[in-house]
């Protein structure tokens, strides 16, 4: 029996790509025929995937899995297959976040939402990588939904961190870290306002480090640069790293004092988990999937008041007893995540469909 996966874009080091690759390897070990089909892929992934143009229509006894995070031509093809169909839903950011900055991205997000609704009557099982996403699918009308978190390759975080980045950011400043796309739903403007308050009223020795591609939405990135200038924050106080290597990112997790997220929309929030892996205390705004991913760990914010947030960041960065208490809770959450048993859950779903 074939159990194939469809991934619109197959990227190296991408959470969705890593999950698809892990599923493929696991299924093959269990005796299934399994391949990843994609419309586009990174150079070097040719031996791990096949272009969708070579996809042969499945039989009714086969299973086809679609990873969905963006609209693509795969959606229309997927619903026509005679095979049993599994959707793995990674969430679509609502269009209203993009409207002030890009009509094109807002349109893409809206089309994505429409495609999710279109698939509902055709999908046998819908898996979501957080309870927040599962509830969204249930509300849309999917018949059977289950939580199926992202695969996390814990072993890769054991690789050595970049020593230059460790030295570069290890000084007297309090390092506030955020990792994620530079897009409006991430609330990066709130991070900048918090940093301004911290500098003016708590200590000038502070640094906000933002890790993520600055080219995702140029208009939004330019608005952030203007905000930094309006607050007279210097380049050494707000650092946009752009795209960096995994080893450089590990160094930043190790040298940061606090991971701060003011994001208003997350489908899962992998950097929250990565912070816990590196024993970095997490403070995050309580929105969408964030409380489900943290699972009682970290500190959840119900306000974005900059004075409250900045003072809390200072406490966590400087009070060792508080830091250790947070870290202990985060370590327990990691144990729970390691014990999710994703492979067995997928096998059960496949068995139910055959």
| Closest alpha carbon to 304 in 177, 189, 132 | 189
State the chain's mean pLDDT as an integer: 96
Q: For residue 222, what are the contacts with CB-CB under 8 A and spacing of at least 6? A: none
In this prediction, residue 342 has a pLDDT band, given cuts at 50, 70 and 90, of confident
The answer to whether 37 and 4 have CB atoms below 8 angstroms apart is: yes
In this prediction, residue 136 has a pLDDT band, given cuts at 50, 70 and 90, of very high
CATH (one of 2.20.28.10, 3.40.50.2000, 1.10.510.10, 3.40.50.300) for 3-151: 3.40.50.2000
% of the chain residues with pLDDT over 70: 100
Structure tokens at 316: 């966590």
Q: For residue 243, what are the contacts with CB-CB under 8 A and spacing of at least 6? A: 212, 213
Helix axes 270-277, 246-255, angle to 10 degrees: 60
With 80 as the cut, is the pLDDT of residue 339 above it?
no
Query: 160-338 belongs to which CATH class?
Result: alpha beta
pLDDT of residue 10: 93
Q: For residue 237, what are the contacts with CB-CB under 8 A and spacing of at least 6? A: 195, 199, 206, 207, 208
State the alpha helices, DSSP H only, in 79-210. 103-119, 131-140, 163-169, 188-197
* pTM (2 d.p.): 0.95
Dihedral sign from CA coordinates of 118, 121, 126, 129:
positive
pLDDT of residue 340: 74
pLDDT of residue 79: 97
Beta bridge partners, 207, equal 175
| Closest alpha carbon to 173 in 324, 320, 318, 298 | 318
> What is the average per-residue pLDDT within 243-268?
97
The answer to whether 97 and 104 have CB atoms below 8 angstroms apart is: no
Whole-angstrom Cα Rg for the chain: 21
Structure tokens at 311: 């003072």
Tell me the CA distances in angstroms from 14 to 37, 45, 180, 349, one per residue in order: 16, 12, 12, 24
In this prediction, residue 65 has a pLDDT band, given cuts at 50, 70 and 90, of very high
Give the pairing type, strands 50-51 and 282-285.
unpaired
Residue extents of the structural domains in the chain = 3-151, 160-338
In this prediction, residue 203 has a pLDDT band, given cuts at 50, 70 and 90, of very high
Own/partner pairs, 79-83, CB within 8 angstroms, 24+ separation: 79/118, 79/119, 79/122, 81/57, 82/57, 82/58, 83/2, 83/58, 83/59
DSSP state of 202: I
The rounded distance, in Å, linking the Cα atoms of 339 and 250 is 23
Give the pairing type, strands 50-51 and 63-68.
unpaired
pLDDT of residue 169: 95
Q: Do domains 3-151 and 160-338 have the same CATH topology?
A: yes
The answer to whether 146 and 125 have CB atoms below 8 angstroms apart is: yes
Phi (first) and psi of residue 218, to 5 degrees: -55, -40
């Amino acid at each position: 029996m074939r159990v194939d996966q469809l991934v619109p874009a197959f990227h190296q080091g991408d959470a969705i790509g890593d999950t698809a690759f892990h599923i493929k390897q696991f299924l093959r070990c269990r005796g299934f025929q399994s391949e990843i089909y994609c419309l586009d892929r990174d150079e070097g992934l040719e031996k791990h995937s096949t272009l969708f143009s070579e996809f042969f229509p499945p039989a009714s006894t086969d299973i086809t899995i679609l990873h969905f995070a963006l609209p693509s031509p795969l959606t229309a093809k997927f619903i026509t297959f005679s095979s049993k169909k599994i959707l793995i839903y990674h969430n679509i950011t609502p269009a209203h976040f993009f409207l002030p900055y890009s009509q094109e991205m807002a349109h893409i997000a809206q089309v994505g939402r429409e495609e999710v609704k279109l698939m509902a009557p055709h999908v046998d099982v819908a898996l979501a990588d957080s309870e927040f996403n599962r509830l969204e699918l249930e509300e849309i009308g999917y018949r059977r939904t289950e939580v199926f978190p992202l695969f996390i390759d814990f072993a890769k975080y054991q690789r050595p961190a970049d020593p230059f980045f460790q030295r570069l950011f290890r000084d007297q400043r309090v390092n506030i870290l955020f990792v994620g796309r530079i897009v409006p739903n991430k609330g990066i403007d709130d991070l900048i306002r918090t940093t301004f308050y911290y500098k003016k009223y708590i200590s000038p020795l502070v640094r906000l480090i933002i890790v993520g591609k600055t080219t995702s939405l140029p208009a939004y990135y330019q608005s952030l640069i203007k905000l930094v200038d309006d607050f007279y924050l210097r380049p050494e106080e707000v650092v946009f790293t752009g795209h960096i290597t995994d080893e450089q990112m590990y160094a930043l997790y190790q040298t940061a004092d606090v991971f701060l997220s003011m994001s208003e929309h997350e489908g899962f929030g992998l950097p929250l988990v990565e912070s816990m892996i590196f024993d970095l205390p997490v403070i995050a705004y309580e929105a969408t999937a964030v409380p489900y991913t943290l699972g009682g760990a970290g500190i959840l914010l119900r306000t974005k008041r900059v004075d409250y947030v900045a003072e809390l960041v200072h406490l966590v960065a400087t009070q060792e007893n508080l830091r250790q208490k947070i870290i202990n809770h985060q370590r327990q959450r990691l144990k729970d995540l390691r014990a999710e048993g994703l492979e067995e859950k997928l096998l059960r779903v496949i068995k139910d469909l055959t």
